[in-house]
Amino acid sequence: MKNKISISNRELTYRLSGEIDHHSAKAARELIDTLIQQQRPILLRLDFSDVGFMDSSGIGLIMGRYRMMTLYGGRVTVVNVPDELKRMMQLSGLGALGVLEEKGEVYETAE
């Protein structure tokens, strides 16, 4: 997975790419957690634009980061979810946590 990271105004944007499964989620998880601990952002933005496949490991990845950010008093937002992944996101109940943003929103303007 080639992932892109940008940080500004204590907002950390992490753009995931490729396929997210149990195997690949591990590396992404470790990287994001290190960044959270170093940067202490108030907002973690997970950008799914370049994700071509995802199983429920992607849900675990989001939920785990949600817990961590909540612990630090921050929040998580999930942006640019491709249509193929929407059913998985809906099934997960993540919507109830208020982390899913509608596709098409320009994430740079958040906050």
Partner 1 sequence: MKLLNEMELCFESRSSNESFARSAVAAFIAQLDPTVSELNDVKTAVSEAVTNCVVHAYKNTIGRITIQVRLMEDGQVVLKIRDRGCGIEDVHKAMEPLYTTAPGEERAGLGFAVMQSFTDQVQVRSVVGKGTTVTLKKRLSRRVSNG
Are 92 and 56 spatial neighbours (Cβ–Cβ below 8 Å)?
yes
Q: Which of 5, 7, 91, 110 binds partner 1 (CB under 8 A)?
A: 91
Q: Which of 35, 50, 60, 101 binds partner 1 (CB under 8 A)?
A: 60
What would the x/- binding string for partner 1 be over residues 21 to 50, using CB under 8 A?
Answer: xxxxxx--x---------------------
Nearest approach, Cβ of residue 9 and partner 1 (Å): 28
Q: How many CA atoms lie within 13 A of 88 on its CB side?
A: 20
- By the 10 Å C-beta count (0-12 exposed, 13-18 middle, 19+ buried), 23 is classed as exposed
Quick one: 29 or 75, whose CB is closer to partner 1?
Answer: 29
Tokens of 27: 């590396």
If DSSP codes are grouped into helix, strand and coil, which group holds residue 17?
A: strand
By CB under 8 A, how many residues form the interface with partner 1? 23
Separation CA 100–CA 77 (nearest Å): 6
- Which residues of the shown chain bind partner 1 in the complex (CB under 8 A)? 19, 21-26, 29, 53-57, 59-61, 63-64, 84, 87-88, 91-92
